[in-house]
Amino acid sequence: MSSNSGQPIPLSAAELLTLILQEWLKHPTGNHKKVATALNERHKAHDLQLTGNTVKRKIKEARDGGLLAYKPRRLDTLADRVRVEGGVSGTYPQVQVVETADAAHVAEAVADHVVHAIRNHRGRDDFHIGFFAGRTNSLVAKALALRFARAKEELDWKRRKEDGPTHIHFHSLVGTLDAHDPEMNPNSFPLYFVQLRDAITASCGPDRFRYHSFPVAGAVAPPDFDRLCETDVVAHRVRTVPRFDIIICSCGHLGCKYTLTKYLKEGCETVPVLSGLCDELESRLKEADCIGDVAWHPVCANGPLDLSVLPLRMATLLDLREVQQRAKGPVANGQVVVAVSPCSDPRCERSKSELLRWVMQHGVAHHVFVDSRSAREYVGEGTVPVTIADERED
């Protein structure tokens, strides 16, 4: 196409992006060079002169700018089968299965659920969210920060002529003070909000968010926990536990990276009489039939693990029994969400079907969000092997 003067009419950035994305979607493995060649050929009149690298950059820009997003399918039939397998007869726990092998997608589904809960929150009362530790919780916090940065679309307070909760409070329910891995630590989740502060302030107004830390390491000896609770900052947190509107928990394999085993080991190191246990901790936990952790507490198939096998306690603001207690109450009094997401340890091949079984059987959640692989294995379908022909990037 050309103008009266015979010169090609340049495409706007948005028009070019549309062509690139349309063509890119036709190439299942997203080969950027093929996309560039096809577009240069088809739109000769525009003299595009695209290269594979330009296509790659444009797609990255679209993704970073929020124009392009992958939203995995919800598998509602599989979710129903999980509820049947779990013997659920009432309304709760509700189950959402996300078709993915990526923990970030499960976390995004949880973040959408939290935003929905905030939208449905009555009046201007403060809204309290409690976070346990771990990679999935971190991804939920990150996804929430992005949603609040775009709150005009997401929360819609202005159009509905509502202001939403006066304050939204983020509470760390556990501290894992690990200098090498701050992402695991809910005390560091406010970082995501600080990084997007200008956009969040523009969308949600100033001073909407409050953060409450819990400055205690992941696992300590019970007498040490009692002493910590006498210190001002911990005593204040324990005294002022709110009526949480939503509590977010996750679960992890025993022994995998990013799970609580290492914090238990660190706990052993801080207790002189337990220091000899560090090396044999994992085998002790296995002997006690520990299958992993739920809400930062070790569990075995028939219930929470009796930690008297190791004289330690998990240093959390709420323990697993209290979480279960809350999960038995009505949603209106605060809901408990458990994310069962693909293991973040790159060496790990296992699904979390066993932990999903625990969550379904032990009344620990109103809402369960689970990845499709764990759900399939749980209902007896086994896992579906995946092969992807890997085209080389240019």
Give the footprint of Zn ion on this chain (CB under 5 A). Answer: 253, 256, 343, 345, 348
Main-chain dihedrals φ then ψ at residue 338, nearest 5 degrees: -120, 125
Structure tokens at 217: 């390491």
Q: Residue 82's closest CA among 333, 336, 340, 261?
A: 340
Between 256 and 359, name the residue whose CB sits nearer to Zn ion: 256
Between 17 and 359, name the residue whose CB sits nearer to Zn ion: 359
| Residue 314 burial (C-beta neighbours within 10 Å; 0-12, 13-18, 19+) | buried
**Least distance CB 333 / Zn ion (angstroms):** 33
**Least distance CB 256 / Zn ion (angstroms):** 3
Structure tokens at 340: 């069962």
| CA 134 – CA 125 distance, rounded (Å) | 29
The H or E element that residue 129 is part of is strand 127-131
Between 81 and 253, name the residue whose CB sits nearer to Zn ion: 253
**Least distance CB 226 / Zn ion (angstroms):** 33
| Rg of the chain taking only CA atoms, in angstroms | 24
* Cβ contacts of 125 within 8 Å, gap of 6 or more: 165, 166
- The bridge status of strand 168-172 relative to strand 209-212 is parallel
| CA 155 – CA 159 distance, rounded (Å) | 9
| CA 134 – CA 258 distance, rounded (Å) | 7
**Least distance CB 274 / Zn ion (angstroms):** 25
Between 82 and 256, name the residue whose CB sits nearer to Zn ion: 256
Between 23 and 354, name the residue whose CB sits nearer to Zn ion: 354
**Least distance CB 302 / Zn ion (angstroms):** 21
Between 256 and 274, name the residue whose CB sits nearer to Zn ion: 256
The H or E element that residue 324 is part of is helix 320-328
**Least distance CB 259 / Zn ion (angstroms):** 7
**Least distance CB 262 / Zn ion (angstroms):** 13
* Cβ contacts of 339 within 8 Å, gap of 6 or more: 106, 107, 110, 136, 137, 140, 248, 249, 250, 251, 369, 370
Q: Supply angle C-alpha 57, 59, 65, rounded to 5.
A: 100
**Least distance CB 134 / Zn ion (angstroms):** 12
Are 358 and 250 in contact, with CB atoms under 8 Å apart? no
* Cβ contacts of 56 within 8 Å, gap of 6 or more: 32, 393, 394
**Least distance CB 343 / Zn ion (angstroms):** 3
